[in-house]
């Protein structure tokens, strides 16, 4: 790898890298070996992040919480500790009313004990309850945020494995919403619901103490419980649909914001700020309607859940007071009874919140599973091997391809390139030129025929090794909001500054980079928009040249570069392309001139093949395309 990083003039030997054997029917599993960061033989780096300890269940027939359970179970130590400590804290609290009952009965009624001892015992129980409660919260929040981080990592990891066809049909705002607000809803319910269940269990313990004090009064206190159960079931049914709608409309708002931020230059260029504000306002109003509807449902059902336990308290005070007056129940007993009833109220008061959290979590989980259950269309076959010692011969064997259910873009596309050959692809817009580049890198799989490199079907080799051997420079280069050096070294993060500068010189980018405020350490703006289109293209060319692939595809890579700079790039590329197979997708005659062979595409197939001069003489379509290009540039 050192030879490839230090020079771009010589490819050097190709080396094998790590691969993953993945069944076609399942999505690729993320790497399981995430050790310390070290160089990847294929040019990348391994992450120091160890990743989630477990994945969700892949069985869609399971309920949503059972699918999430493996993630929570992977943090069982802290989770169980939080539950046990919470249980202990609540037990200490339940002992206080029982102690109070005995103290009042013995000290005031029978004068058999002193109060100061009971006070000390109550203080001790309070301290124990407080300490265990603090530790319980600490471990609970730690578990909650670790579960959230794992879910977010799982989604992002899965997104990196999904095919381009998925991104062709899914809005980025939807993905952002599901990776943020939806995950938060699932995380909150998954970690806090068990805590509420523990409190409900303590309510059962409190009810046991109540039965011990007076069974009849305990039954009177629980008379409202069946009503609460029915209300909870009804509340759950009406909340789920509106919870789904709310999360979906949150995603709609996120989509509009994302599009407007990324497309702000288009919005301003066409003076459509007001129209976009109105579009966002409409989406916000639809979201507000969902929130208001949710609030109305809560307002309708929550009072029942929260106030029905108060009815039980009123019944206890009425019947218990009658029993104290007639001497059938002690004063300490009625005080303890009221304290236990207050303990019972806490779980019931949280029952409404638990139901609402549960329905929102269920809706959010189903939206998350829509992503995690998505299978990539482009996967490595079982037994896929690394592509090594690449010569560069490239064959398109009667290829057929179309995007989705649309018309075929390539139809019986048949072409052979010798190793080290430079070929220009020319054709009208929509002829399928860029599609050819996407099939070589296996961004998409062919519908028919095959694409082969050195007689290896690209579907038989590992994706990492394929894409390390095929470099693509697109007409719309994407730059990250990091330094220029990091953008150029994106494919080889450990490349030295000398290697990065060598690649920049080959792309005629060194001079303008050194003129930037911090040179190669200058941080470019988001998507590189602080640079001109031509500067972005030159950095993108340098980024690909640094990786030094044996097959190079230039997809209109100099379209935004002026003629003088383009000629300098062409002089550098001319020497570099001598040792590699190159496909040039271009419209300019100056760029086409880099190729000794020109291929003319029309309606997805090769219609002419020859030198520039031969095609000018024999192909009316080629002459027409060049004439239109010259007219547009003129």
pLDDT in tens, 178-229: 777 788 888 888 777 877 777 777 777 777 878 887 888 888 877 777 777 7
Mean pLDDT across 506-510: 86
Residues 103 and 209 in one domain: yes
Same domain, 88 and 200: yes
Q: Which domain holds residue 504?
A: 394-633
Q: Is the pLDDT of residue 22 over 50?
A: no
Last residue of a domain, one of 323, 338, 372: 372
Say what the pLDDT of residue 562 is: 65
Residue 54 counted as domain residue: no
182 occurs within a structural domain: yes
Residue 192 lies in a domain: yes
For residue 258, the domain's CATH number is 1.20.1560.10
pLDDT digits (tens, 9 = 90+) for 156-178: 888 888 888 888 887 777 787 77
Better-predicted residue by pLDDT, 11 or 299:
299
Residue 21 half-sphere exposure, CB side, CA atoms within 13 Å? Answer: 4
Which of helix, strand or coil describes residue 606?
Answer: strand
Q: Give the chain's domain count.
A: 2
Q: How confident is the model at residue 352 (pLDDT cuts 50, 70, 90)?
A: low
User: 339, 372, 405: which is the final residue of a domain?
Assistant: 372
Q: Both 325 and 290 in a single domain? A: yes
Global pTM value: 0.67
Let me know whether 363 and 401 are in one domain: no
Does residue 598 fall inside a structural domain? yes
Q: Distance between CA 539 and CA 529 in Å, rounded? A: 13
Assign residue 617 the CATH number of its domain: 3.40.50.300
Judge whether 24 lies within some domain.
no
Say if 145 falls within a structural domain: yes
Is residue 157 located within the same domain as residue 283?
Answer: yes
Residues 139 and 190 in one domain: yes
Residue 417: inside a domain: yes
Q: Of 102-111, 578-587, 623-632, give the range with the top mean pLDDT.
A: 578-587
**Within this chain, do residues 330 and 437 fall inside the same structural domain, yes or no?**
no
d(CA 223, CA 216) in angstroms, rounded, equals 11
Q: How far apart are CA 337 and CA 331, in angstroms?
A: 10
pLDDT at 351: 65
pLDDT tens for 358-379 read 877 888 888 888 888 888 888 8
- Cα distance between residue 335 and residue 317, in whole Å: 10
Write out pLDDT tens, residues 609-620.
988 888 888 888
Residues 428, 297 share a domain: no
Looking at the fold, whether 244 and 346 belong to one and the same domain comes out as yes
Residue 265 pLDDT > 70: no
Asked if residue 588 belongs to a domain, the reply is: yes
86-95, 252-261, 393-402 — most confident range: 393-402
- Residue 9: predicted pLDDT: 38
- Does residue 151 sit in the same domain as residue 269? yes
Residues 531 and 447 in one domain: yes
Average pLDDT along the chain: 78
Same domain, 367 and 399: no
Q: How far apart are the first and last CA of the chain?
A: 45
Final residue before a domain boundary, out of 372, 406, 438: 372
């Amino acid at each position: 790898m050192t030879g490839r990083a230090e020079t771009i003039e010589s490819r050097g030997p190709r080396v094998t890298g790590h691969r993953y054997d993945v069944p076609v029917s399942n999505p690729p599993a993320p790497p399981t070996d995430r050790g310390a960061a070290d160089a990847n033989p294929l040019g990348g780096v391994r992450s120091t992040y160890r990743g989630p300890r477990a994945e969700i269940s892949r069985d869609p027939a399971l309920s949503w919480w059972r699918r999430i359970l493996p993630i929570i179970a992977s943090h069982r130590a802290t989770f169980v500790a939080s539950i046990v400590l919470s249980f202990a804290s609540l037990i200490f609290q339940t002992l206080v009313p029982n102690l109070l009952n005995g103290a009042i009965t013995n000290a005031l009624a029978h004068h058999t004990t002193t109060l100061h001892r009971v006070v000390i015992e109550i203080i001790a129980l309070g301290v124990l309850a407080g300490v265990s409660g603090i530790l319980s919260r600490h471990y609970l929040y730690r578990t909650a945020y670790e579960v959230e981080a794992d879910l977010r990592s799982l989604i992002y990891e899965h997104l990196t494995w999904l095919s381009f066809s998925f991104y062709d049909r899914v809005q980025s705002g939807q993905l952002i919403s599901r990776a943020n607000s939806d995950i938060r809803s699932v995380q909150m319910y998954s970690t806090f619901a068990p805590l509420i269940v523990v409190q409900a269990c303590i309510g059962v313990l409190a009810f046991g103490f109540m039965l011990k004090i007076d069974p009849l009064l305990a039954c009177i206190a629980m008379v409202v419980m069946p009503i609460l159960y029915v209300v909870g079931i009804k509340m759950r049914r009406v909340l789920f649909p509106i919870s789904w709608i709310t999360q979906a409309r949150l995603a709609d708002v996120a989509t509009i914001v994302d599009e407007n931020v990324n497309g702000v230059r288009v919005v301003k260029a066409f003076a459509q700020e007001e129209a976009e504000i109105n579009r966002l306002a409409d989406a916000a109003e639809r979201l507000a309607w969902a929130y208001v509807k949710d609030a109305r449902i809560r307002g309708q059902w929550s009072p029942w859940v929260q106030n029905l336990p108060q009815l039980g308290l009123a019944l206890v005070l009425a019947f218990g007071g009658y029993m104290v007056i007639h001497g059938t129940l002690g004063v300490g007993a009625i005080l303890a009874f009221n304290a236990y009833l207050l303990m019972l109220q806490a779980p019931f008061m949280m029952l409404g919140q638990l139901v609402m959290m549960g329905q929102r979590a269920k809706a959010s989980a189903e939206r998350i599973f829509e992503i995690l259950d998505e299978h990539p269309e482009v996967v490595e076959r079982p037994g896929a091997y690394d592509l090594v010692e690449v010569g560069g011969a490239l064959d398109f064997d009667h290829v057929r391809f179309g995007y989705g259910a649309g018309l075929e873009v390539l139809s019986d596309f048949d072409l052979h390139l010798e190793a080290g050959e430079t070929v220009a692809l020319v054709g009208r817009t929509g002829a399928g030129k860029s599609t050819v580049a996407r099939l070589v890198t296996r961004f998409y799989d062919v519908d028919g025929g095959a694409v082969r490199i050195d007689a290896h079907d690209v579907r038989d080799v590992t994706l990492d090794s394929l894409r390390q051997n095929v470099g693509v420079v697109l007409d719309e280069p994407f730059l990250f909001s990091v330094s220029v050096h990091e953008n150029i070294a994106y494919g080889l993060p450990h490349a030295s500054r000398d290697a990065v500068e060598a690649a920049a010189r080959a792309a005629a980018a060194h001079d303008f980079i050194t003129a930037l405020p911090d040179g190669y350490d200058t941080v470019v703006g988001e998507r590189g928009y602080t640079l001109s289109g031509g500067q972005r293209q030159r950095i993108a060319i340098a980024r690909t040249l640094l990786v030094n692939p044996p097959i190079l595809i230039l997809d209109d890579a100099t379209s935004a570069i002026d003629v003088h700079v383009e000629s300098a790039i062409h002089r550098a590329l001319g020497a570099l392309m001598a040792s590699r197979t190159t496909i040039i997708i271009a419209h300019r005659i100056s760029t086409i001139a880099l190729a000794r062979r020109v291929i003319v595409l029309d309606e997805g197939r090769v219609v002419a093949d020859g030198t520039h001069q031969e095609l000018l003489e024999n192909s009316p379509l080629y002459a027409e395309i060049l004439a239109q290009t010259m007219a547009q540039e003129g």
